[in-house]
Amino acid sequence: MIDWNRVLELCEEVGAEDFDEVVDLFLDEVQEVISRLQDHPDPTQLEADFHFLKGSALNLGFDAFAALCEAGESKASAGNDAGGDLPNVLTCYASSREVFLKDLPQKLAPPAA
């Protein structure tokens, strides 16, 4: 569900002092799109929304979520109804977010001596 190697890589790239800010920004921006998709999905925006969510997910290691977004983006790009994918995408994001926030502190903790 979460690519923890990617998470650790991102932490190294941005530095530990900026990592929390990057995570907060990611979660805020993604939640904005997720909320819009839950409340008022716009079929004409689905391809762009899935593309944005996929890129954000890949940056922070949300692999399962990214894969669902990629599938939705491909469907929308081909002119197929991707709206049917929304329940799975929304559920996967919620699960991924929960696991990420729960396990992140232990994943970032220095190894025990």
Q: Long-range contacts made by residues 64-67, C-beta under 8 angstroms, separation at least 24?
A: 64/1, 64/92, 64/96, 65/1, 65/89, 65/92, 65/93, 65/96
Query: Model's pTM, two decimal places?
Result: 0.89
CB 3 within 8 A of CB 64: no
Q: In which residue ranges of the chain is pLDDT below 50?
A: none
pLDDT given for residue 113 in this prediction? 63
